[in-house]
Amino acid sequence: MSQQRMRRRWLVWVSMLLLLTIAGLAQPSDVSFLHYSTDNGLSNNVVTSVLKDRQGFMWFGTVNGLNRFDGLRFTVYKRTGRPDGLPGNYIVNDGLSLDADGFVWISTNRGLCQYNPQTDRFQAIPLPQQRDQVADNDFVSPVRFDRAGMGWFASVDRLYRLEPRTHRLTAFPVPSVLPNAFAIPIPDRQGQVWLHHWSGLYRFDPTTRRYTYYMGADDTHPKAPERVYVLTEDKSGQVYALLDGGRVTRFDPASNRFVTLFTCPGTVTALEKDRLPDGREFFWLGSFNKLIRYIPADKRFTQFTHNASDPLSFGGGTIGVMQTDPHTGIVWIGTTEGIAKIDPVSLKFSRRWLPASADGAHEMVEVIRQDRRNDELYWILGNHTLYQWNRRSDSLKTILINGTAPRNDPAMI
């Protein structure tokens, strides 16, 4: 039997018969990942956007095509040149939004469009920048909707307010115009609009049409001590600014400033707030080639990286977007290596690897038996080694090697 088949056989045995449920989230291996890529029909592996619509379909934007996923297969939409088609193949980061009427809004390299799920057609929103018939300045930001249902998005040189039913636009100036860079707006619950512009952060008052600078380096504040990498909002309306150096900050309305919550060991590229089964809050943090979980109550970071020997490990790649389904608890993760999915229902088992030999190979498991006197103990027989595994403490002890107890280990069967 090949070494690869031996590893696969070991993984199946231990996943099915031994280990703790994923709900415990006690060890890094307690999180299992499913993966989708071009091998499964995805149009491109660089995934920029994730959205669930009212019909239950998952939508994934990529740098080359839009994808609708029904749980089994992907339907791919690409630019056709038709007026009722997708205007551009490049979907910007986090560039999928859902309005109050269930229409999907898509931000692309060739402007903004609205998707009608009843007709399966797209409608482009004409913008002044498109009159030159040149596509290099037609990028638009994601659309975000305020509490009144109005959409907000930005182009290279303007901030727009959108009436989603009539498509009427109201234009406002941006703090400054930078070539090939659009601002990213997020309306807050106080009726104002946060604007992430380059690496700076502003707040816009639609009534006075004035901007207030808050922090971050940009062309008008080049000496600012920090750079804002990402501006994001959680489902409760709290606004976060992810800064250089791994600093995660949250806006505090009482003090009118962003307060540092914690500093992550590595650059944070995306943030998603979630809850443990016991109700405690925690954060999923995207980064380069890893996913990080941070539990504030324990002040503990856990990193998930790719393990070539483990098909249920994180698939790698830079994480650009994440979304948690509040109904199912599924976490969808868009990376530069495809889609990663954490499903606490379908993936009920975690994994525990036996110690590897000097050449990195794992021993094949021949027999697994639960102890007759202690339900927490399991006996695992490999090719040459007998192990005792304690389910509660997740500790693995070597009992016999080639029929001999390890030196300085008095354990007896």
pTM above the 0.85 mark?
no
DSSP-assigned beta bridge partners for residue 252: 257
Res 97: pLDDT: 98
* Structural domain includes residue 164: no
* Structural domain includes residue 376: yes
* Structural domain includes residue 85: no
Domain count of the fold of the chain: 1
Q: Is 92 exposed, middle or buried (0-12, 13-18, 19+ CB in 10 A)?
A: buried
Res 355: pLDDT: 75
φ/ψ of 318, rounded to 5, equals -80, 135
Q: Where are the beta strands (DSSP E) in 174-246?
A: 184-187, 193-197, 200-205, 210-215, 228-233, 239-243
Residue given tokens 């389904």 in the structure block? 325
pLDDT along the chain (413 residues), means of 10: 44 40 41 95 98 97 98 96 95 98 97 97 90 71 97 96 97 90 95 96 97 95 96 96 97 97 96 92 97 96 92 95 94 98 74 66 79 89 85 84 60 36
* Structural domain includes residue 339: no
**Token code pair at residue 235:** 């489902």
Residue 362's domain comprises 1-17+352-413
Q: Using one digit for the tens of pLDDT, what is the confidence trace for 129-150?
A: 776 666 566 899 999 999 999 9
CB 62 within 8 A of CB 56: no
CB 47 within 8 A of CB 62: yes
* Structural domain includes residue 385: yes
* Structural domain includes residue 379: yes
Strands across the sheet containing 184-187 = 184-187, 193-197, 200-205, 210-215
Res 134: pLDDT: 61
* Structural domain includes residue 251: no
